[in-house]
Amino acid sequence: MRQKRILLIIPAYNEAEGIVEVVRIVDQYRKKTSYDLDYIVINDGSTDNEEEVLQRNNINHIELVQNLGIGGAVQTGYMYAMQKEYDIAVQYDGDGQHDIESIPALIEPILSDTADFTVGSRFVSESESQFKSTGARQMGIKILSTLIRISSGVRIKDVTSGYRAGNRKVIEQFVTRYPSKYPEPESYMHLLANKVRVKEVGVNMFERATGESSIKVINSISYMINVSLSIIFVALIRRRKR
């Protein structure tokens, strides 16, 4: 049987300070793993010298001429994955938050065909992650998790996790449609509507090493309101189509 080809999609915005180290860790893992593993960095219209750093270090990447946001950057990675015919795509942050050693836990359910899409979680019993985010953000995550469970009947604890993996079915779906503003929570509604098998698995995460979160404290309330409305809106559309 042909070995599955796996692509790490690494979105990066103004990560010049740390992206070389992130890729170095990925490369070290690639040398020791038996997986057929590649990566692509998506430079999301960075305004620092990230593009210069990527070019100088011969890092495989795509440069977006303007900032598309996390949704557009990740969707670009999925387009690359489909074009290059990868079997599995893994979303892997460019800020050093995701532990590369958790890759097996994330992709094994897909390799064994027990899931189409996996969510790397800090909040399931299998996770040994010491980093859980701030108390305020954990409360927000719980609210969104409850809202998704009420809307879809499926419980996902770490709904804002960006450490995720999908098979060809998911790659094709995300190439066609990937939420732009609130991609992680909103995408679950679209996945579940299309009968995608979603599984939450325990992974390890670290506090971000460089850069800034796209969700600032100042707009966190606005983020929660908008994401909640988005989930409710998608749920209502699903019900009308039944």
* Phi, psi angle pair for 41, to nearest 5°: -90, 130
Distance CA 133, CA 217 (A): 13
Q: What is the pLDDT along the chain (242 residues), one digit of tens a residue?
A: 789 999 999 999 999 999 999 999 999 999 999 999 999 999 999 999 999 999 999 999 999 999 999 999 999 999 999 999 999 999 999 999 999 999 999 999 999 999 999 999 999 988 888 776 666 677 788 888 888 788 777 889 999 899 999 999 999 999 999 987 778 888 888 898 889 999 999 999 998 766 555 444 435 666 666 666 565 555 554 555 55
Question: Coil, strand or helix: which one is 131?
Answer: coil
Strands (E), the chain: 5-12, 36-44, 61-64, 88-91, 117-121, 164-166, 198-202
Q: Which residue has the tokens 């390799």?
A: 111
Length of the chain: 242
129: Cβ–Cβ under 8 A, 6 or more apart, which residues?
99, 122, 202, 203, 204, 205
pTM: 0.86
